Amino acid sequence: MNTRLLLTAAAFAFAASTATAQKITYDDHILPLFKNQCLKCHGSDKPKADVDLSTYGALMRGGSSGVIAAGGDPDGSMLYKLVMHSAEPTMPPKNKLADKELDLIKKWIAGGLLENSGSKAIVSNRPKMDLSLTGAAFAKPEGAPPMPGDLLLEPVVRTVRTSVSTALAASPWAPLVALGGQKQIFLYNTDTLQLAGVLPFPEGFPHDVKFSRNGKLLLASGGRDANKGLAVVWDITTGERILTAGDELDVPLGGDISSNQKWIALGGPDRLVKIYSTATGEQLHKLKKHTDWVLAAEFNHTSTYLATGDRNGGVVVWDAEEGQEVQTFTGHRAAITSLAWRTPDLLVSSSEDGTVKTWIVKEGQQV
């Protein structure tokens, strides 16, 4: 019996030591690999694309395009895509890493991005559903257009005096408008002029609201000035809050969800445009070009372009998937108030200078 107990204990001890030995960590496995292959371009001294791989903390902060590693999701991590040469710019630029090195990076990401043997695994928080659409996502949906069901009808906040609405949007297919106010968004049926639902927004004031192209989702971007900002997505038929994106230190002033429902764009006082994945909620791109507060954001019908406008009158068009600048338009003399796409290549902008301008993106000129 004693012999049997000893053998069992030894087996458990061996299994435990093997499991420990199989832990792939940044300190023990990934940093040595990076030192040999990557730190010449991505060390702490002027790293390319602001991607510094020389310390765990710097790697986790990501680069100029956002977070590059998502714990538990190698295929969704930009770092893994770059070393696999499945995304640009490839790392290393010429030849891929050896298969065993690629496998090591993949296992490290899949294992939760452990810093050392005592670290806890990091696993990306995914939303409750896959929001992405295929096909003509901007086309009219089949059947009756989405309308609110049994939603809350009592206001979250009541005030003695009325105030201005901070955001307004109309459904592309249904007789429905969304009005943003203090800590809530009101949905009104435009046929009956009756309240159809209330969506709580406890984070503060929504500064921009947008319906998805199929009319089923509503995105609100907002928060509290100089304190907190984010985007929230609801299913307007159920009132369910299904996704949040962003954790800003100031309130975003413009936002949109792409027609394929893969991306959310936010812009605000920091003069940056940030694109988030609806599949993971993680930041994909951090875009620097605007010289003043970003006030408006709008994806085109086919989700190929994202247009953004700022307080200085500048309009920038980006490649929505790659996060690369496509065109910059500087015809306005005051803040941009709104952006809209007439066709996938024809952009309309309005400004506080009292003008409305139309731009052809591919030609880079005004109509």
The CATH number for 236's domain is 2.130.10.10
pLDDT at 2: 52
Element holding 243 (H helix, E strand): strand 240-248
pLDDT at 157: 86
Does residue 89 have a cis peptide bond before it, meaning omega lies within 30 degrees of 0?
A: yes
Place of tokens 């452990």: 114
Angle at 236 between CA 234 and CA 237, to 5 degrees: 130
Q: In the chain, how many domains are there?
A: 2
Compute the half-sphere exposure of residue 254: CA atoms within 13 Å on the CB side of its CA. Answer: 27
When computed from its CA atoms, the radius of gyration of the chain, rounded to whole angstroms, is 24
Q: Within this chain, do residues 100 and 199 fall inside the same structural domain, yes or no?
A: no
Q: 169 in helix, strand or coil?
A: strand
pLDDT at 259: 94
Asked if residue 311 belongs to a domain, the reply is: yes
| Sheet of strand 336-343, all strands in order from the earlier edge strand to the far edge | 336-343, 346-351, 356-360, 365-366
Report the distance separating Cα 295 and Cα 267, nearest Å: 7
pLDDT at 298: 98
311 dihedral zone (left: phi>0; alpha: psi -120 to 50; beta): alpha
pLDDT at 1: 45
Q: Within this chain, do residues 226 and 351 fall inside the same structural domain, yes or no?
A: yes
Q: Within this chain, do residues 212 and 333 fall inside the same structural domain, yes or no?
A: yes
Please list the ranges in the chain whose pLDDT falls under 70: 1-21, 64-66, 124-129, 134-138
Q: Within this chain, do residues 178 and 98 fall inside the same structural domain, yes or no?
A: no
DSSP string, 15-32: HHHHHHHT---IIIIIHH
Q: Within this chain, do residues 351 and 234 fall inside the same structural domain, yes or no?
A: yes
pLDDT at 137: 58
| Joined tokens for residue 127 | 């939303």
Asked if residue 103 belongs to a domain, the reply is: yes
pLDDT of 150-194, one tens digit each?
A: 999 998 888 888 888 999 999 999 999 999 999 999 999 999 999
Does residue 175 have a cis peptide bond before it, meaning omega lies within 30 degrees of 0?
A: no
Q: Within this chain, do residues 195 and 342 fall inside the same structural domain, yes or no?
A: yes
Element holding 83 (H helix, E strand): helix 78-83
pLDDT at 74: 87
Q: Are residues 33 and 24 in contact, defined by beta-carbon separation less than 8 angstroms?
A: no
Please name which of 30, 58, 27, 29 lies closest in space to residue 42, comparing C-alpha atoms. Answer: 58
Q: Which amino acid is at 264?
A: I
What is the domain range of residue 59?
23-110
Report the distance separating Cα 81 and Cα 79, nearest Å: 5
Place of tokens 């000129």: 365
Q: Within this chain, do residues 248 and 330 fall inside the same structural domain, yes or no?
A: yes
Q: Are residues 212 and 257 in contact, defined by beta-carbon separation less than 8 angstroms?
A: yes
Boundary of a domain, candidates 110, 126, 154: 110
